[in-house]
């Protein structure tokens, strides 16, 4: 998939994307013929909220199947919802350098560990 996506990332319209990764069944090698590709993108810090226009469609065209896109906009509320945490922590890099999102991965682990600590307190 990484090779198929290269032309999409090289498009100048995608310059606000810091990093992208694949997660879900395709990343775990459990995909079947009906599976979509789950793609997580992290936007650069200066960017506003919202996914880049037409990115999901361009990725789907490049890959030849449906794509489900999850967009993370860096900021205080980026980790809202467990799906973002799971996506970021389990993704295989397809664009950019994983070191560029390491601070977000560390925040995700802290968030999850805090939740476990609170859960253990109530049990």
DSSP 19: E
Within 13 Å and on the Cβ side, how many CA atoms surround 91? Answer: 32
In this prediction, residue 51 carries a pLDDT of 74
Q: What is the pLDDT of residue 13?
A: 77
CATH code of domain 1-121: 3.30.460.10
- The residue behind tokens 């664009």 is 95
Phi, psi of 60, deg, nearest 5: -60, -40
pLDDT attached to residue 19: 95
Q: What is the pLDDT of residue 5?
A: 95
**Each residue's pLDDT tens digit in the chain (123 positions)?**
889 999 999 987 788 899 999 999 999 999 998 999 999 999 988 766 567 889 999 999 999 999 999 998 887 777 777 788 999 999 999 999 999 999 999 999 998 888 778 767 666
């Amino acid at each position: 998939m990484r090779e198929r996506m290269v032309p999409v990332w090289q498009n100048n319209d995608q310059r606000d994307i810091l990093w992208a990764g694949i997660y879900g069944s395709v990343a775990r090698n459990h995909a079947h013929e009906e599976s979509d590709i789950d793609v997580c993108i992290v936007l650069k810090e200066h960017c506003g909220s919202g996914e880049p226009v037409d990115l999901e469609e361009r990725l789907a065209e490049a890959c030849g199947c449906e794509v489900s896109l999850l967009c993370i906009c860096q900021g205080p509320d980026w980790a809202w919802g467990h799906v973002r945490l799971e996506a970021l922590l389990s993704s295989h890099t397809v664009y950019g350098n994983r070191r560029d999102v390491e601070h977000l991965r560390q925040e995700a682990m802290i968030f999850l560990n805090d939740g476990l600590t609170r859960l253990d307190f109530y049990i």
